[in-house]
């Protein structure tokens, strides 16, 4: 696992692994294991708060991380992937900290197969319309995948919706039975946001181009980081009776997402349309679309074959494509 340049400086990976069990460890024990002084250990532990981690200290006994840490590891993830899925991966990159998994993949050279970037923490994670994505260390899933297509941006139409469909399938495998989708990129459960998708494309609009598919999924979120979120949210730990291991979550997601990406250029969104409609949280409901200063109200009737939102308005039936559109339910 790698750390890249960032304004946040992580404690050494070895120290994080020692504390990952959530048990008490004395300063002397940690210092001996790391081969440094107790003062040096204290300075490293002071960095944990900036990562959204809660360090508990008991005088005379030591330090522990509340809830421990469930760290991601490449080897167990790769071994859990189906063989055809592993064959589709050209690069698998796992970082301790990045500014953004999407930004990192966009900066890399293209490959014919799928590249993956996962980070334990993001310092500049983002969603649609420039909104920040709260990214505490080793609590959630921050993952991006990069694919190459030869037929231009048109072959990517509806991709964020198709990703939502297969993510919902993966969540079902994990035990989440009531996931819903909000056009164009939100994954919901119990009316609260569980995850989101961000698609970014680069290259020739009419030829060889690349799409980076960013996925953020809430697994475990609490404390000061949770207070930064400005909308209703939910985590897998809130939904499921048994907390899933994050390695298993990543394995399940990739086993569903990668086969879809591998064939998407040839089959497109039409293959996923009916499944998306079945999961549409706003079907036949009154909604409003905010497009800059313009607001349009109507009844959502579904989506087109290219993933556009179909809305019955006072002017008739209109189709809208994502761009900078915000959708809200109307009373």
Domain with CATH 3.30.930.10 in the chain: 74-277
Question: Does 3.30.930.10 match the CATH number of domain 74-277?
Answer: yes
**pTM reported for the whole predicted model:** 0.90
Active-site residue set: 128, 193, 328
Q: Which CATH architecture has domain 2-65?
A: Orthogonal Bundle (1.10)
Strand partners, 94: 118
19 neighbors 63 (Cβ within 8 angstroms): yes
Separation CA 72–CA 94 (nearest Å): 8
Provide the β-strand partners of residue 25: 63
CA separation for the pair 304, 323 (Å, rounded): 15
10 Å CB burial of residue 236 (0-12, 13-18, 19+) is: buried
**Top-level CATH class of 282-329?**
mainly beta
C-alpha to C-alpha distance for 139 and 135, rounded to whole angstroms: 8
The tens-digit pLDDT sequence of the chain (331 residues) is: 554 444 456 677 788 889 999 999 999 999 999 999 999 998 888 888 777 788 899 998 999 998 889 999 999 999 999 999 999 999 999 999 899 999 999 999 888 899 999 999 888 765 544 555 567 889 899 999 999 999 999 999 999 999 999 999 999 999 999 999 999 999 999 999 999 999 999 999 999 999 999 999 999 876 555 555 667 899 999 999 999 999 999 999 999 999 999 999 999 999 999 999 999 999 999 999 999 889 999 999 999 999 999 999 999 999 999 778 999 999 8
The count of C-alpha atoms lying within 13 angstroms of the C-alpha of 207, restricted to the half-sphere facing its C-beta, is 2
Question: Rounded CA gap, 105 and 111, in Å?
Answer: 11
What does the pLDDT read at residue 306? 95
- Exposure of 252 in the CB half-sphere (CA atoms within 13 A): 18
Distance from C-alpha of 12 to C-alpha of 194, rounded to nearest angstrom:
30
Within the chain, all domains assigned CATH 1.10.10.10 are found at 2-65
**Domain boundaries for CATH 2.30.30.100 within the chain:** 282-329
So what's the pLDDT on residue 3? 45
Whose CA is closest to 198, among 152, 144, 135, 236? 144
The answer to whether the CB of 128 falls within 8 A of the CB of 198 is: yes
Secondary structure class of 267 (helix, strand, coil) = helix
The pair of structure tokens assigned to 256 is 């569903």
Residue 125's pLDDT is 62
């Amino acid at each position: 696992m790698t750390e890249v340049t960032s304004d946040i400086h992580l404690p050494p990976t070895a120290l994080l692994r020692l504390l990952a069990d959530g048990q008490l460890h004395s300063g002397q024990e940690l210092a001996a294991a790391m081969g440094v002084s107790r003062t040096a250990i204290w300075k490293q532990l002071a960095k944990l708060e900036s990562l959204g981690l809660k360090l508990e200290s008991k005088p005379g006994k030591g330090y522990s991380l509340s809830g421990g840490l469930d760290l991601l590891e490449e080897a167990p993830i790769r071994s859990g992937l189906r063989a055809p899925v592993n064959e589709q991966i050209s690069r698998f990159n796992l970082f301790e900290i990045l500014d953004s998994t999407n930004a990192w993949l966009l900066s890399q050279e293209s490959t014919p197969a799928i590249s993956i970037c996962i980070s334990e923490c993001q310092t500049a994670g983002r969603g649609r319309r420039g909104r920040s994505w709260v990214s505490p260390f080793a609590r959630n899933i921050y993952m991006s995948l990069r694919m190459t297509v030869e037929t231009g941006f048109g072959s990517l139409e509806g991709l964020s919706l198709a990703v939502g469909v297969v993510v919902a399938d993966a969540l079902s495998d994990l035990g989440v039975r009531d996931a819903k989708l909000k056009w164009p990129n939100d994954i919901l459960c119990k009316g609260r946001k569980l995850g989101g998708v961000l698609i970014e494309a680069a290259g020739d609009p009419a030829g060889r181009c690349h799409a980076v598919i960013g996925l953020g999924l809430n697994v475990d979120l609490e404390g000061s980081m949770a207070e930064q979120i400005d909308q209703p949210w939910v985590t897998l730990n809130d939904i499921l009776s048994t907390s899933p291991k994050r390695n298993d979550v990543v394995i399940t997601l990739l086993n569903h997402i990668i086969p879809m990406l591998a064939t998407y250029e040839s089959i497109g969104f039409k293959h996923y349309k009916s499944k998306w409609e079945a999961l549409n949280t706003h079907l036949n409901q009154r909604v409003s679309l905010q497009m800059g200063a313009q607001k349009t109200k109507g009844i959502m009737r579904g989506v087109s074959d290219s993933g556009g939102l179909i809305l019955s308005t006072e002017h008739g039936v209109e189709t809208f494509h994502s761009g900078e559109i915000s959708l809200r339910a109307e009373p």
